[in-house]
């Protein structure tokens, strides 16, 4: 009879302890030293001992194996999924939830609304803390699952409940304080919805969260994303509103840097670009704590290009190149392309791709689909290389939102396609 828990092994690293012990791909690792495994966190936590008794299920039957390991030596296993008991789904009903604003017909994984603290710890996914049970709190404390990434949106409980689309929510400040008492650090996110949690409400939320420093070690402020499939009457942030939000954030940053030595609160790149404002220096991002949230990517792009120029003569293997990007970043890339053209013999064209799939209010490169890129580039390709933003592909760098691979786009356009985040990566292409 199959035990509950356990993870199916996808790969055994050659030459590893696991291979020496006889583990195979397809085996299900059920437990380590009597501890049933729920996910890769358990696997890492319980495999830290020197002597390990592994219970494995192979062909429906249990098998016990023993391993002795040196301190710091990894077993050498990779699993089919990071969580062995599924993924915890979000129970909230946010009007601005991007998943609810997607059309049907995309791959199933894109419609999963996760709210799983384990994915927050492992991958930096933002969670709401609204579905934690006492056993979850106990596990977070025992295994020191830090940092966690939390979508706050508002600290006023009534307003937060409205934003999350539920009748009542736990006291988020008390929850974060509890995490702090456990030694857990928190990166907070505020999605600004015009007319709901901006202005004075944003001021209160930021100040409340700042009061929980150093448990709160960063606060990211991002504008709400609205697609053409949205049906709840919300609207995107305007350029004037973006200017006001950035002005608020700059005032807070000055104050917090004086008090705590860091800015603490950081505005999304979109807010600066929408407002037509100069981006802060790299130093102002304090190590880019919210880079996975897209905060600071544009600054890193600009600084990478500056470093490339400082190295002197630029070697460019492609005479004619086309860059494709979302409409928001296009002016910056066009300026870089002009400089690149002036410094080399290359002819570099930047194509700003309108987002027909999600609608014109979606302007970031990370939400471009291949079909829109192909449509925009067909007939406009000026050379032998197309460079696409890495952000429009999944975490593996292989698949777009509409299930195209790099080679599919090459076949459609008949031109070599490269994927990159920065100019230094593009210049290294042969």
pLDDT digits 0-9 by tens, 305-347 = 999 888 877 777 767 889 999 999 999 999 999 998 888 877 8
Q: Quick one: pLDDT at residue 289?
A: 97
What's the CA gap between 364 and 351, in Å, rounded? 14
Instruction: Dump strand ranges (E) for 128-172.
Output: 148-151
All domains of the chain in start order, with CATH: 7-79 (2.30.42.10), 99-295 (3.80.30.10), 310-427 (3.40.50)
pLDDT > 90? residue 170: yes
Beta-strand pair 7-12/28-32: antiparallel
Distance of alpha carbon 356 from alpha carbon 118, whole angstroms: 35
Under 8 Å between Cβ of 251 and 149 = no
**Alpha-carbon span 35 to 26, nearest angstrom:** 20
Mean per-residue pLDDT of the chain: 93
H or E element that contains 51: strand 51-58
The percentage of residues in the chain with a pLDDT greater than 90, rounded to a whole number, is 81
Query: Is the pLDDT at 157 greater than 80, yes or no?
Result: yes
Task: Say what the pLDDT of residue 256 is.
Answer: 97
Cα–Cα distance, 355 to 41 (Å, whole number)? 38
* Confidence (pLDDT) at 71: 87
With vertex at residue 137, the alpha carbon angle to CA 133 and CA 143, rounded to the nearest 5 degrees, is 140
Q: What is the mean pLDDT of residues 241-268?
A: 97
Residue 427 main-chain phi, psi, to 5 deg: -70, -20
Instruction: Determine the straight-line distance between the first and last CA of the chain, rounded to whole angstroms.
Output: 55
State pLDDT tens for residues 390-423. Answer: 999 987 788 999 999 999 999 999 999 999 988 8
For residue range 359-384, what is the model confidence (pLDDT) as tens digits? 999 999 999 999 999 999 998 876 78
How far apart CA 36 and CA 283 sit, in angstroms, is: 45
């Amino acid at each position: 009879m199959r035990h509950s828990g356990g993870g199916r092994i996808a790969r055994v690293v050659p030459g590893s302890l696991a291979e020496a012990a006889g583990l195979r791909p397809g085996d299900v690792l059920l437990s380590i030293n009597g501890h049933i495994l729920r996910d890769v966190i358990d696997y890492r936590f319980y495999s830290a001992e020197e002597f390990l008794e592994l219970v494995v299920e192979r062909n429906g039957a249990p098998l016990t194996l023993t391993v002795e390991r040196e301190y710091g030596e990894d077993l050498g296993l990779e699993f089919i999924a990071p969580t062995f008991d599924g993924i915890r789904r979000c129970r909230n009903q946010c009007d601005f939830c991007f998943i609810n604003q997607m059309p049907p017909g995309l791959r199933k994984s894109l419609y999963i609304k996760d709210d799983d603290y384990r994915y927050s710890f492992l991958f930096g996914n933002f969670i709401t803390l609204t579905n934690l049970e006492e056993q979850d709190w106990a596990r977070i404390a025992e295994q020191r699952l830090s940092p966690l990434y939390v979508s706050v949106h508002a600290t006023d409980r009534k307003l937060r409940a409205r934003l999350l689309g539920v009748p009542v929510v736990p006291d988020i400040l008390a929850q974060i304080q509890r995490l702090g008492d456990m030694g857990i650090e928190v990166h907070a996110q505020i999605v600004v919805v015009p007319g709901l949690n901006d202005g004075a409400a944003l001021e209160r939320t930021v100040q409340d969260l700042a009061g929980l420093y150093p448990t709160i070690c960063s606060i990211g402020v991002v504008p709400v994303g609205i697609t053409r499939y949205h049906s709840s009457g919300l609207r995107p942030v305007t350029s004037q509103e973006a200017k006001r939000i950035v002005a608020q954030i700059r005032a807070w940053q000055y104050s917090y840097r004086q008090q705590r030595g860091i800015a603490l609160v950081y505005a999304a790149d979109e807010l600066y670009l929408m407002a037509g404002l100069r981006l802060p220096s790299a130093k102002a991002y304090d190590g880019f704590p919210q880079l996975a949230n897209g905060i600071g990517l544009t600054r890193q792009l600009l600084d990478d290009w500056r470093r490339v120029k400082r190295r002197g003569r630029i070697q460019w293997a492609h005479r004619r190149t086309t860059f494709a990007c979302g409409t928001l970043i296009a002016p910056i890339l066009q300026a870089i392309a002009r400089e690149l053209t002036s410094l080399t013999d290359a002819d570099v064209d930047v194509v700003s791709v309108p987002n027909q799939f999600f609608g014109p209010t979606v302007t970031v490169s990370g939400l471009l689909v291949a079909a829109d890129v192909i449509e925009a580039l067909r007939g406009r390709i000026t050379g032998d290389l197309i460079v696409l933003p890495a952000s429009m592909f999944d975490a593996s760098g292989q698949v777009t939102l509409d299930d195209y691979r790099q080679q599919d786009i090459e076949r459609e356009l008949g031109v070599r396609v490269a994927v990159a985040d920065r100019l230094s990566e593009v210049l290294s292409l042969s």
